Amino acid sequence: MPYSKYILGLKDKARLKNKTIVLPEGEDARVLEAAHIIAADNIAKLIILGNKEQIQSFFAEHNWPLDGIEIVEPETSPHLGEYTKLLYELRKDKGLSQEDAAKLALNYNYFGTLMIKSGHADGMVSGANHSTADTVRPALQIIKSAKKGRMASSCFIIVSHDKPYFLSDCAIVINPNERELADIALDAAETALKFGEEARVALLSYSTYGSGKGDAVDKVRHAAALANADLQSPEYQGLNIKLDGELQADAALDKVVAAKKAPASDVAGSANVLIFPTLEAGNIGYKLLQRLGGCEAYGPLLQGLNAPVNDLSRGALVEDIVGVIICTILQTK
Ligand SMILES: CC(C)(COP(=O)(O)OP(=O)(O)OC[C@H]1O[C@@H](n2cnc3c(N)ncnc32)[C@H](O)[C@@H]1OP(=O)(O)O)[C@@H](O)C(=O)NCCC(=O)NCCS
């Protein structure tokens, strides 16, 4: 699969950030090839977790240099004791014993997350061989939400005809309430800004401005009102965010439909951040775009955390992993 112009553009921005990304799945050939591509192109420094001898011989077999790549075996790492202590301190109030902390720190997803918390890496990409829950749980527990009390959520970057769309939440929050949906919309807007785009946010529904009825419609309309009220606060002043809802997907994306259904909206017809009312809608929606619409899909990228930890689909191709690593670099501070 060739990379879109969009991802190639992000690659150059990522290189300038000079970051270190940890890849906990050193046993996976796709991850190793993606690491080689990133390192050979000087996009970032990488730390691969896994068996040193096996990873070194895999690189040697393919004639790939290991410049810019550090291989760390958690079991023999000089930092293991420090990470175990850190994990225990962070989680002892949640009932974690020292014994369990020692076991958990050896789980590669926890080890990688503890590297970020300790400042030894800037972000992590995992999930080629782990479920979303196993990949993101350490991040939710250790890295934590950037805004206290606010849920982290996720975003997919969908590239259609070299244009990025930010779709949220397709992977984390199963059935957000009005407040949570408003927060997802605001965090997705900030994700779009981080990638250098304006944020024109549409909260999607089966109704446009009251054309349909039901509790689900009310939830989306109220969430849009909450988010728009928040946009008036000093925190969001000066940010290029416009937000509207409830809107149907055609009204959000198509200028002709928007002119009929929501002529006064400054988002309808040109939305680039699409907010789904539930995880069910979002997850089905992005997969339809990817499988039937021929779009590239990068993510889920977690948003709202203190540092980026991103998940991969278990069916991810090498190109997908490279793309998610690049996106992760863009999300770092
Ligand atoms: C993300 C997810 C895995 C978290 O589930 P979990 O690990 O069982 O979560 P728990 O409720 O046990 O919470 C674990 C910790 O994470 C925190 N947490 C959970 N969800 C969070 C969120 N969205 N944002 C921030 N923190 C969160 C909890 O507060 C808790 O923290 P604490 O232990 O310090 O108190 C869960 O929401 C989920 O399964 N989502 C759907 C995933 C999925 O199937 N996606 C579709 C495929 S991509």
- Residue 283's H or E segment, with its range, is helix 279-291
Mean residue pLDDT across the chain: 96
In angstroms, what is the span from residue 137 Cα to ligand 1's centroid?
6
User: Quick check: 14 and 329 in contact, CB under 8 A?
Assistant: yes
Calculate the dihedral angle through the C-alpha atoms of 25, 28, 29, 30, rounding to the nearest 10 degrees: -70
Q: If you classify domain 1-144 with CATH, what class do you get?
A: alpha beta
Q: What is the C-alpha separation between 333 and 119, in angstroms, rounded?
A: 12
Q: How many other C-beta atoms are found inside a 10 Å radius of the C-beta of residue 318?
A: 18
Segment 277-298, tens digit of pLDDT: 999 999 999 999 999 999 999 9
CATH architecture of the domain with range 146-304: 3-Layer(aba) Sandwich (3.40)
CB atoms under 10 Å from CB of 149, counted, come to 6
Domain layout of the chain by residue ranges: 1-144, 146-304
Q: What is the pLDDT of residue 31?
A: 98
What is the reported pLDDT for 1? 53
Q: In what order do the strands lie in the sheet with 309-311?
A: 69-72, 45-49, 20-23, 123-126, 309-311, 296-303, 153-160, 163-168, 273-275, 199-204, 241-247
* Ligand 1 atom nearest residue 153's Cα: 23
The single residue listed with the structure tokens 């807007």 is 189
Closest by Cα among 35, 29, 26, 36 to 64? 36
Q: How far is CA 167 from the centre of its chain?
A: 10
Residue 3 has pLDDT above 80, yes or no: no
From atom 10 of ligand 1, which residue's Cα is the shortest distance away?
A: 137
Going from the Cα of 120 to the center of ligand 1, the distance in angstroms, rounded, reads 24
What mean pLDDT comes out for the span 254-269?
97
Asked whether the predicted pLDDT for residue 322 surpasses 60, the reply is yes
Residue-wise pLDDT for 82-135, tens only, equals 999 999 999 999 999 999 999 999 999 999 999 999 999 999 999 999 888 999
CA neighbor of 124 nearest in space, from 319, 305, 287, 315:
305
pTM for the structure as a whole: 0.93
From the CB of 151, is ligand 1 less than 6 Å away? yes
CB of 308 within 8 A of CB of 328?
Answer: yes
- With a cut of 80, say whether residue 228 has pLDDT above it: yes
Going by pLDDT thresholds of 50, 70 and 90, the confidence category of residue 148 is confident
CB 173 less than 6 A from any atom of ligand 1: yes
Cβ(283) to ligand 1 under 6 A?
yes
The answer, yes or no, to whether any atom of ligand 1 lies below 6 A from the CB of 140, is: yes
Task: State the pLDDT at residue 2.
Answer: 65
Residue nearest to atom 40 of ligand 1 (CA): 172
